[in-house]
Structure 1
Amino acid sequence: MIIDYLRNHVEQMPEKDAFIFLDEFNIEIERISYENLYSSVKSLAFLLQKYNITDAKALLIYEDARDFIICFLACQYLGITAVPLNYSRKSAHLKAILKDSNTDTIFTTEGTKLKLENIFSDQFAFNRNIIISTDSLEDNIVISDIPCALINDIALIQYTSGSTSIPKGVIITHDALIQNQISIADTFGCNRESIIFSWLPFYHDMGLIGNILHAIFIGCTCVAIAPSSFIRKPSNWLKAISKYRATHSGAPNFAYDLCVDYITKEEKADLNLESWKVAYNGAEDVRSETLERFVRYFSRCGFSKSAFTPCYGLAENTLLVSGKKKSKYPSIITASRSSAGSYTIKQKGLTRKYVSSGLVVSGVHVRLISGGGILL
């Protein structure tokens, strides 16, 4: 389980940086070593024991990555199923998830607690929910036996975005989580010397499993900023990669377009992207035009086109389904637009370029099903 990997890193390299957190101006606000991270996780786990969470499930609603990471790992330590949520979700979505998840407990911070109490005021009328501020618990630790989670127990429940329907929960076991981590490592080639940089939301699969938990699984360092820091100023992403010599970092396709559109020539002049070996691109359609624009604009900064790593994933498979092996430029084919969604590739008519999302990872089986449910 992921907590076992954290424990091993503490034994082997306690002083190594696990996470480096930056503010909205890319200025360091904290470094936390593997030893200090594990200590914080254990302390919170012991404090949470007294609440006797009978259903062993809790919603995690945080605005800050550091507090979220410690609480998530404390849940793994205690065998509590974590249900990570985006605080900025619509109130209706939060209420729907609270009801669907059938949990009585919410973990958050003191600063967010009052806001959540207002959102869930009607649910609290029944006095069945508990909102616990994990950053303001009294430090009166009484060590007792910690329940041991089993490999097939549920590690977390990921909820879909709810952009087109009511959010749906996806159950992920400890075993599924670790197996997908193995697939990510095999595909992207991350090791202990790697440095991951992330601006992706820490509460959902691509940022949580692909960056935060993968760093802990591997034992490398993850540098992180808030998503708003990138959206406000796209250069923050590439400046941090340049400064911290990040080797692995990625985002949906739109982020690469934003970099070309909004990073000035003056900002570009100070960038050194030679360290960036894996620039994964997923979560939406990967466009060949985007890859070509980005390479043209940033190649003189040391960015190599072979770093581009298109991939495909979904919450229902924990995260990664397929990905391009590193050190090769993505495969691109030109085909008729009518080929989209078709089993056969057509060359005639109006064409467009399609970027391959790589090979299906080991242990995953993919089936092509028509809209009518027929196996192709």
Structure 2
Amino acid sequence: MIRSSSLQLQVPDWPYACRNVVDIARGRASIAPSGLPFTFIDYSGSRPIDIAMSYAELDRRARQIAARLQTRGRPGERVLLLYPAGLDYLCAFYGCLYAGMVAVPAYPPLNPRLRSRLAAVADDCQASAALTTHTVVDALGERAQLPVPLARLRWIATGEPLDAFESSWREPAIESEQIAFLQYTSGSTGTPKGVMVTHANLLHNLYAIALHLQFGPDDHHLTWLPPYHDMGLIGAILGSFSAGVPVSFMAPASFLRRPERWLREVSSRRCTVSGAPNFAYELCLEKVSNAELATLDLASWSLAYSGAEPVRADTLTRFAERFGPCGFQRRAFYPCYGMAETTLYVTGKPRNEEPRTLRIDSGAYANDARAVVATDPDGNDATLEIVSCGVPADGLDVLIVDPLTLCPLPDGDVGEIRVSGASVASGYWQRGALTNETFRECVETKAGAYLHTGDLGFILNGELYVSGRLKDLMIIRGVNHYPQDIEGSVNSCHAAIRPGCGIAFSISNAKDERLVFVQEVGRRDVARADEIFSAIRDAIVARHDVQPFAIVLIENGTIPKTTSGKLSRNPCRSDYLSQRLASIAMWTNPLFSKTTDAASVPFSQEPVL
């Protein structure tokens, strides 16, 4: 077990001693009304435009929206927030809190394919209203065409027509244990479930973020992360706002269309803090040209956090090497670990320290579920380099347990990560059994109950190393294989491979588990499919000593992902078994029996081009 760290740092009692996060926003508006906490970088036109908002304006618009909600709603009701990224979304989020209602961040239902999930969220939380923009309302057209849970909502378009409403706002009594918002999980498997995040959870986690990221008066945060997910909303937006750190932000699509925009904005605005999941750093390595590289100055970037998915040592090394000439320093990297069920932040390293990696024996890791430090410092195919996610935040404890016996494990043994502390949420909305299983039916220690994270990892020298998801673990011929490790091995095995766009999973028949790998490639690469198959197969065999059963090449942009951009392994497995993948070439290993259960072999033995 590793307990909360004892960093010799100080964060003032205000604003984190407030009763709720509304008091923080109101306090900021009183202390520095003309300060500019948020600047939205609008890339919708021919050139980017800055749209800024002051503390006082945010407070005024939040009171307007709250007053409108209070005319027909009651405290505690759930309200969907269906905005594109922008200042309107932030005003609506605080408007819900100012009204004493429960915010439910989501995304505008403009894409018909995503409406079923959004309808499931609305139905699960029994939302009474939806806040959005006039543009979204107009685009939706006839409400009768929407799924029933969305059609029955009271739709409120915020904007200038709400002027003067702030005078009728009534400040509600908001206690720290009241729910501030529901953070719905990605829903990549099963029905989406809403994590109940209280004001107390938020205050504790916002304090932890400020303390461990060591925010200073000269910091400036830049983000493109989705504001309706925990990393973007809490880590980038609320964490910085509460600490008085200005935030410049753009829509996620602005980054995904042109990844160099992220680095260009860091460079031109002299931003000090910015971060993203591992895939975003890989995307910059792939898409940012040498010509663009020559225009960047990244010397101001002193904290580049990486979380929400496994942090790869190879990515850190290659990014630091590629962008080092632009002033980027490796010690800026800040690997961290967290999840919606803990509000967000759980572990991280001290700022300005080099990120630590550990090279371990891959055989002991796979066969014995134990991290044994490799004796060969230079590394070889029998070793694996993994990244430390640091130490727990102040007020949080982390424990590693055997997922079967529930017994705590010694340092170096891989098991399920459990977390305890004030940031751990109170459960899932209206899911009593699942809440009991995940949040309360835990190993009892002197420190109390621990949240089941569903993540695998180990502790060594007081630091947490994350292996992957418990449900993703593959056991092939009695050996443990983590899909993230196999995906990482394939990333650089061939020039046609798009890093971060491949998924490994296993399928079962009556006899054993078998490995399948699905990888995005461009259509013009189909002509060399055999060459790509061979490279993928050789990389997996060389590093993991397992023969893939099947390899599927699919069109660029079709790999299953969650709404936050994470790889979705279970849906990919399901699409493979039901032959729904957008495949352009397929291969099945002839070493396996041709009499294998048909349900496990949906593709022919020969490549289909």
TM over 0.5: yes
Matched, 1:265 2:294: no
Give 2:148's match in structure 1, choosing from 122, 125, 134.
122
2:348 corresponds to: 323
Q: Cα distance 1:26–1:247, how it changes in 2: closer, same or farther (>3 A)?
A: farther
Give 1:92's match in structure 2, choosing from 116, 119, 136.
116
| CA distance in 1 between partners of 2:58 and 2:105 (Å) | 19
Give unpaired runs (5+ residues) of structure 1. Answer: none
1:283 corresponds to: 308
Matching of residues 187-206 of structure 1 within 5 Å: 187-206=212-231
- Give TM-score scaled by structure 1 length: 0.93
Q: Give the deviation of 1:344 after TM superposition.
A: 2.8
Contact between 1:286 and 1:355, CA under 8 Å: does it hold in 2? yes
Q: Give the deviation of 1:340 after TM superposition.
A: 6.0
The superposition leaves residues 216-260 of structure 1 with CA deviations (integer Å, 9 ceiling, x where unpaired) of: 101121000111111111110011001111111000011111112
Q: Give the deviation of 1:138 after TM superposition.
A: 4.5
2:50 corresponds to: 29
1:224 corresponds to: 249
Give 1:356's match in structure 2, choosing from 388, 393, 396.
388
Q: Give the deviation of 1:164 after TM superposition.
A: 2.1
Secondary structure at the residue paired with 1:147? Answer: coil
Give unpaired runs (5+ residues) of structure 2. Answer: 1-19, 375-380, 410-609
Q: Which has the larger radius of gyration?
A: 2
Contact between 2:338 and 2:345, CA under 8 Å: does it hold in 1? yes
Q: Cα distance 1:341–1:143, how it changes in 2: closer, same or farther (>3 A)?
A: farther
The superposition leaves residues 95-114 of structure 1 with CA deviations (integer Å, 9 ceiling, x where unpaired) of: 11111112222111222235
Q: Cα distance 1:57–1:121, how it changes in 2: closer, same or farther (>3 A)?
A: same
Give 2:182's match in structure 1, choosing from 153, 157, 167.
157
Q: Give the deviation of 1:347 after TM superposition.
A: 4.8
| CA distance in 2 between partners of 1:150 and 1:75 (Å) | 15
Contact between 1:201 and 1:226, CA under 8 Å: does it hold in 2? yes
Contact between 2:230 and 2:343, CA under 8 Å: does it hold in 1? yes
1:11 corresponds to: 30
The higher relative CO (CA closer than 8 Å, separation ≥ 6) is in 1
Secondary structure at the residue paired with 1:284? Answer: coil
Q: Cα distance 1:312–1:275, how it changes in 2: closer, same or farther (>3 A)?
A: same
1:49 corresponds to: 70
Matched, 1:346 2:372: yes
Opposite residue 383 of structure 2, the aligned amino acid is T
| CA distance in 2 between partners of 1:360 and 1:228 (Å) | 32
Q: Cα distance 1:367–1:341, how it changes in 2: closer, same or farther (>3 A)?
A: farther
Give 2:322's match in structure 1, choosing from 297, 312, 322.
297
Give 1:166's match in structure 2, choosing from 176, 185, 191.
191
Matched, 1:251 2:276: yes
| CA distance in 2 between partners of 1:124 and 1:255 (Å) | 33
Q: Percent identity?
A: 35
1:65 corresponds to: 86
Secondary structure at the residue paired with 2:398? Answer: coil
Q: Give the deviation of 1:26 after TM superposition.
A: 6.6
| CA distance in 2 between partners of 1:120 and 1:370 (Å) | 46
| CA distance in 2 between partners of 1:281 and 1:311 (Å) | 6
| CA distance in 1 between partners of 2:367 and 2:236 (Å) | 30
Contact between 1:274 and 1:304, CA under 8 Å: does it hold in 2? yes
Secondary structure at the residue paired with 1:90? Answer: helix
Greater displacement, 29-38 / 244-253: 29-38
Runs of 4+ in 1 over 4 A off after TM superposition: 340-343
Q: Cα distance 1:140–1:132, how it changes in 2: closer, same or farther (>3 A)?
A: same
| CA distance in 2 between partners of 1:273 and 1:9 (Å) | 30
Contact between 1:108 and 1:134, CA under 8 Å: does it hold in 2? yes
Q: Cα distance 1:162–1:278, how it changes in 2: closer, same or farther (>3 A)?
A: same
| CA distance in 1 between partners of 2:367 and 2:203 (Å) | 32
Count of aligned positions: 374
| CA distance in 2 between partners of 1:121 and 1:261 (Å) | 39
Greater displacement, 161-170 / 281-290: 161-170
Q: Give the deviation of 1:124 after TM superposition.
A: 6.5
> RMSD value over aligned CA atoms?
2.2
Opposite residue 66 of structure 1, the aligned amino acid is L
| CA distance in 2 between partners of 1:341 and 1:328 (Å) | 33
2:60 corresponds to: 39
Q: Cα distance 1:342–1:75, how it changes in 2: closer, same or farther (>3 A)?
A: farther
1:184 corresponds to: 209
Contact between 2:119 and 2:150, CA under 8 Å: does it hold in 1? no
Q: Give the deviation of 1:57 after TM superposition.
A: 1.8
Opposite residue 135 of structure 1, the aligned amino acid is G
Contact between 1:20 and 1:32, CA under 8 Å: does it hold in 2? yes
| CA distance in 2 between partners of 1:9 and 1:54 (Å) | 24
Opposite residue 105 of structure 2, the aligned amino acid is P
| CA distance in 2 between partners of 1:328 and 1:59 (Å) | 40
| CA distance in 1 between partners of 2:404 and 2:222 (Å) | 41
2:131 corresponds to: 107
2:102 corresponds to: 81
Opposite residue 18 of structure 1, the aligned amino acid is P
Secondary structure at the residue paired with 1:357? Answer: coil
| CA distance in 1 between partners of 2:390 and 2:299 (Å) | 23
Opposite residue 92 of structure 2, the aligned amino acid is C
- Give TM-score scaled by structure 2 length: 0.58
